[in-house]
């Protein structure tokens, strides 16, 4: 059984103990707990994008039995691009390495995309799970 499978098994065992509340750190733990219960309150931390991951429906009013604390505010993602422009003001194109299957990065990428035009930067998302795409990006071939 892989790590994710083990986490799911442990989540089910924990829920079976009927706790009053469960504190969880990280997306894999939270996802497994959500699958295991819809009644025991789950409080999370260290989750990058709980909205994009589908853990909650709304940042100001989380749904159901799940609430918690994000790893950082989305707007911080725009600061990374601003910092890049301060370090290298002549940059006009930037690659964003990402895994599009990971819901946690959706909000982050959206913020980076929204900041790019005002900074004069053209973004190119690079799918990390596609070796050919990474190689094309590295060599500059379309």
Q: What is the pLDDT of residues 65-111, one digit of tens each?
A: 999 988 777 788 899 999 999 999 999 999 888 877 766 677 788 88
- Cα 126 to its chain centre, rounded Å, is 16
Taking residues 16-32, report their average pLDDT: 93
Average pLDDT score over the chain: 87
Q: Is the pLDDT of residue 38 over 80?
A: yes
Out of 3.40.50.2300, 3.40.50.720, 1.20.1600.10, 3.40.50.12140, select the CATH number for domain 3-70. Answer: 3.40.50.2300
Give me the residue spans of the domains in the chain. 3-70, 76-139
Tell me the residue length of the chain.
142
Global pTM exceeds 0.75? no
Bin 46: left if φ > 0, else alpha if -120 < ψ < 50, else beta: left
pLDDT(116) > 60: yes
């Amino acid at each position: 059984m892989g790590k994710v499978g083990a986490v799911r098994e442990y989540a089910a065992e924990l829920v079976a103990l009927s706790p009053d509340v469960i504190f969880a750190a990280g997306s894999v733990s939270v996802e497994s707990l959500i699958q295991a219960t819809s009644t025991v309150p789950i409080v999370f931390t260290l989750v990058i994008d709980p909205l994009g991951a589908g853990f909650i429906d709304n940042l100001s009013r989380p749904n159901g039995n799940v609430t918690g604390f994000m790893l950082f505010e989305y707007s911080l993602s725009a600061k990374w691009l601003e910092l890049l422009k301060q370090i290298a003001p002549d940059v006009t194109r930037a690659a964003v390495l990402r895994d599009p299957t990971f819901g946690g990065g959706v909000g982050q990428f959206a913020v980076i995309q929204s900041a790019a035009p005002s900074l004069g930067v053209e973004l190119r998302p690079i799918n990390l799970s596609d070796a050919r795409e990474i190689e094309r990006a590295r060599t500059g071939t379309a």
